[in-house]
Structure 1
Amino acid sequence: MDMHATVHQNGYDQDPYAKEFGINISEKLTSVEARVLPAPWLKYHDAGKEKECLPQVGQWNMVNKKVINGGKVSHWACINFSRSVQETTARGFCQELAQMCQISGMEFNSEPVLPIYSARPDQVAKALKHVYNVALHKLKGKELELLLAILPDNNGALYGDIKRICETDLGLISQCCLTKHVFKISKQYLANVSLKINVKMGGRNTVLVDALSWRIPLVSDIPTIIFGADVTHPETGEDSSPSIAAVVASQDWPEVTKYAGLVCAQAHRQELIQDLYKTWHDPQRGTVTGGMVRELLISFRKATGQKPQRIIFYRDGVSEGQFYQVLLYELDAIRKACASLEPNYQPPVTFVVVQKRHHTRLFANNHKDRSSMDKSGNILPGTVVDSKICHPTEFDFYLCSHAGIQGTSRPAHYHVLWDENNFSADEMQTLTNNLCYTYARCTRSVSVVPPAYYAHLAAFRARFY
């Protein structure tokens, strides 16, 4: 059933209530002007056959490419929580994965520190601590760098338990794999997992060519930090659980692809992020300052040796009714965090709200012409609309940065609420679109800008804690 037919069938022109209120509903879709931004060139390692890559219709792959900065894994182990996976199968899988990590440009030891350890899911804490301690003993005090875990396909709370224990008790980096993937080993799956492992180990998968040649407007000229922030609320009906705020920020410049993140619990359903900047009284030290923005600015300086001279802040999860409340409160916190590091330190801030929850959908006008659509019949990745259906006076735009897979693509709505860096519409749209190609976990352009995406992932992860 297509939409035109539905609208026609609803017969709004005959509706007595619509008539009474003088409402006319057109049977045609609104026609809007759009442009399609080009994909950026991506840089891979010079040791690979393909050193640079131009994505086609929002996607590309790792064939003949090596990650630009490969991580190193010397000491790793594997725990098998799946009854149906035999040890030989698990060993075969681990060897294939290690090999794929090597092919994609990582230094990865082919042998684990200890043989694959099989454990029951209800003994998860015991198993993790056992493997951690045996490895510690065997490595004479050196730490395990990576833990692979094979999980049953339906594992209930197991995944969350593993992440909680590894990340809050043991300080271990973990990679979980489902049984179905262990049995049906596909190259594509192994390549995807190796991308995730490389980033977890502190590597970089790819970088924008324009970033390396200092050609990104309003990022390349002076040290720039890009923040992403999100708040996730507990599900309806959970009245006692806290909301969780997450903030991430880029830790490299000029590349802007590596991010560090922080999470904080806050009051139930509180939309404003409480811990962007905070002060408290310490009996020994007097007034102490802290907060997530402050910490991330400090770690940017540690990582790059420079202070950020410009801040771009992408904020997810704000509804229109709260735009200015959030802007006032959070911009103030960002400024205070800067000033707490140095009295006159006030880098210019651009504050952008990202929305995915809206009901605007865009369709290609000439739906008979296959070249104006992606494989799924959706608008092409990079499509920008900034007139007609946008705000008459404010700086906002719709950007569909991803290729559709199934259903109708939902473009992201970006609202620039505050801009001290004087971005032109074109510069903001191009930067946002280009960043969507730097998401580390897949070789596709993603639908929201990666810092916002990472903040969402971080907040979601913290639910398990």
Structure 2
Amino acid sequence: MRAKTNFDTRFLAFEEAAHITTLFIITDFARNFVTAAKAKGMQIDHVQHYVMDPTLLYKHMVEIYTLKKTDPKLKNMIFLHIEPESNKHHDELKLFERRFCMITQHLKMENAAQLAGKKMMMENILLKLNVKGGGHNHYVTPEIYAMPLWMEKQIMIMGYNVCHPTGQSRADKMADRLPDPSVVGFSFNGGVNPDSFIGDYHYQQATRERKSRGVLPPLIIVVRDGISDGQHSHAMDELETLREAAAEYASPVDDYTPHFIFVVATKRHHKRVYADGERGLTNMAAMSVVDDTITDPSLFEFYMQSHTPIQGTAKPTRYTVLKNDVGATQDAMQSLMGALCFEHQISTNAISIPEPVYQSDEWAKRGANNMRIIKQMFGEKGQLKKGFTYDDLTNSLSYWNSPLEK
């Protein structure tokens, strides 16, 4: 029997529906969209219609930002930007989101025109809107093996990944420009709701985290992407840095020495696993696990295919547990990683990697894209000059310590 890894939420209200004070939206699209959002339990106090010129995105956002500074109705607002697919302004929109500190959502005009007849497409857009508005779409209950490791108030689960730049050009060196930094994306269940993953990115320098729920977690589970077998020793160095950072954060008030579980999750391997049935070789059933034969007997590892591929050959994720301070079992770790693949709040399907890893990848890309767009839009003024530090860049472009922090 194949495991079911998708679920239908079209006729269900969100577990925690968002409260949006004002939604900026195109007039022609507003009625059906707002009606569908309210049917899911969302509260939208005010709908602000506007006539969009896709070529004037920056102008639109400046105007809304100016209104936002004086109108209390715009405190928890969302700007839904709809434009033809050919315009490709998504990266600019996300840079402006941080610049003007307003939540944005991007939608293709071609998709918007079909929403009345495509209920699942409408559902997918609402899933994202509710999360952006501070809601929570669904809760995940793991198998019993993983319950002691699940995201209660006392346990933090985090993921991080690094997006490295290309080499510095000769022209940049001659102009005495600062080399582009590596971008570290990270995600963790750090919101008020312990099931909600939030994240950010920073440039080179590490960022401290806060006690979001008023308690320091005694157990921190780290899921790391993007490293090979030959870099396992480097990962252990990173773990020691995390231990030191945790102790430094609590000092001198608390004597804080949390336990760690450190897992490497990667799809950068050459293993393929198939099921041999009546129809020949096929993809494994979703949530299938292989923990012997093809695994390294000297390591605590397993392969899991958590998702159902739309087409083609599925590639399982390889999980290697490099540190296990609490003695978690194979069953517990397999159940935990599988449950985290259902935590992607804007999808009704299990994804192929755990949610904190997926989010950290996306945050690293966001940081790199924002750097790229600044250079494209502002030319020489957008270049990193000597004297401007990576900390300055992080403070300018990351969401940390901004009105969008939560």
Q: Which residue of 2 aligns with 1:178?
A: 108
Query: Which sits farther off after the overlay, 237-246 or 219-228?
Result: 237-246
| Aligned-residue offset at 1:397 | 0.7
Q: Judging changes above 3 Å, is the alpha-carbon distance between structure 1 residues 323 and 357 closer, same or farther for their aligned structure 2 residues?
A: same
Q: Which residue of 2 aligns with 1:124?
A: 57
Answering whether residue 216 of structure 2 is matched by residue 307 of structure 1, we say yes
Which amino acid is 2:42 matched to?
M
1:454-465 alignment runs, 5 A limit: 454-465=359-370
| Aligned-residue offset at 1:246 | 0.8
For 2:37 and 2:19, how far apart are their aligned partners in 1?
10
SS for the counterpart of 1:99 is: helix
Q: Which residue of 1 aligns with 2:94?
A: 163
Which amino acid is 2:23 matched to?
W
Deviation string 1:41-81 (CA, Å, 9 cap, x unpaired) is: xxxxxxxxxxxxxxx62111113211111111121213xxx
For 1:221 and 1:173, how far apart are their aligned partners in 2?
28
Answering whether residue 35 of structure 2 is matched by residue 99 of structure 1, we say yes
Q: Which residue of 1 aligns with 2:263?
A: 352
| Structure 1 residue ranges without an equivalent (≥5) | 1-35, 39-55, 79-89, 267-274, 276-290
| Aligned-residue offset at 1:360 | 1.2
Answering whether residue 303 of structure 2 is matched by residue 361 of structure 1, we say no
SS for the counterpart of 2:247 is: helix
Q: Which residue of 2 aligns with 1:320?
A: 229
For 1:124 and 1:400, how far apart are their aligned partners in 2?
41
- Contact kept in structure 2, 1:222 and 1:309, CA below 8 Å: no
- Contact kept in structure 2, 1:62 and 1:104, CA below 8 Å: no
SS for the counterpart of 1:333 is: helix
- Contact kept in structure 2, 1:350 and 1:421, CA below 8 Å: yes
Specify which structure has the bigger relative contact order, considering alpha-carbon pairs within 8 angstroms and separated by 6 or more residues.
2
Which amino acid is 2:66 matched to?
N
Q: Judging changes above 3 Å, is the alpha-carbon distance between structure 1 residues 180 and 400 closer, same or farther for their aligned structure 2 residues?
A: same
For 2:142 and 2:352, how far apart are their aligned partners in 1?
21
- Contact kept in structure 1, 2:301 and 2:320, CA below 8 Å: yes
Which of residues 179, 184, 191 is equivalent to 1:245?
Answer: 184
Which amino acid is 2:263 matched to?
V
- Contact kept in structure 1, 2:54 and 2:83, CA below 8 Å: no
How many matched pairs? 357
For 1:145 and 1:214, how far apart are their aligned partners in 2?
41
- Contact kept in structure 2, 1:227 and 1:311, CA below 8 Å: yes
Q: Which residue of 2 aligns with 1:112?
A: 47
Which of residues 286, 297, 302 is equivalent to 1:397?
Answer: 302
Q: Which residue of 1 aligns with 2:400?
A: none
Q: Which residue of 2 aligns with 1:22?
A: none
Which of residues 180, 203, 218 is equivalent to 1:265?
Answer: 203
| Aligned-residue offset at 1:143 | 2.8
For 2:352 and 2:41, how far apart are their aligned partners in 1?
27
1:63-74 alignment runs, 5 A limit: 63-74=10-21
Deviation string 1:125-176 (CA, Å, 9 cap, x unpaired) is: 2221012223544x258535100101221223x2111110112x11110011
Answering whether residue 245 of structure 2 is matched by residue 337 of structure 1, we say yes
TM-score of the aligned structures, taking structure 1 as reference length: 0.71
Q: Judging changes above 3 Å, is the alpha-carbon distance between structure 1 residues 57 and 136 closer, same or farther for their aligned structure 2 residues?
A: same
Answering whether residue 313 of structure 2 is matched by residue 408 of structure 1, we say yes
SS for the counterpart of 1:390 is: coil
For 1:77 and 1:222, how far apart are their aligned partners in 2?
35
TM-score of the aligned structures, taking structure 2 as reference length: 0.81
For 1:331 and 1:147, how far apart are their aligned partners in 2?
39
Which amino acid is 2:51 matched to?
Y
Which amino acid is 2:185 matched to?
A
- Contact kept in structure 1, 2:274 and 2:283, CA below 8 Å: yes
Q: Judging changes above 3 Å, is the alpha-carbon distance between structure 1 residues 386 and 118 closer, same or farther for their aligned structure 2 residues?
A: same
For 1:443 and 1:366, how far apart are their aligned partners in 2?
28
For 2:355 and 2:259, how far apart are their aligned partners in 1?
21
Q: Which residue of 1 aligns with 2:158?
A: 227
- Contact kept in structure 1, 2:152 and 2:194, CA below 8 Å: no
Larger Rg: 1
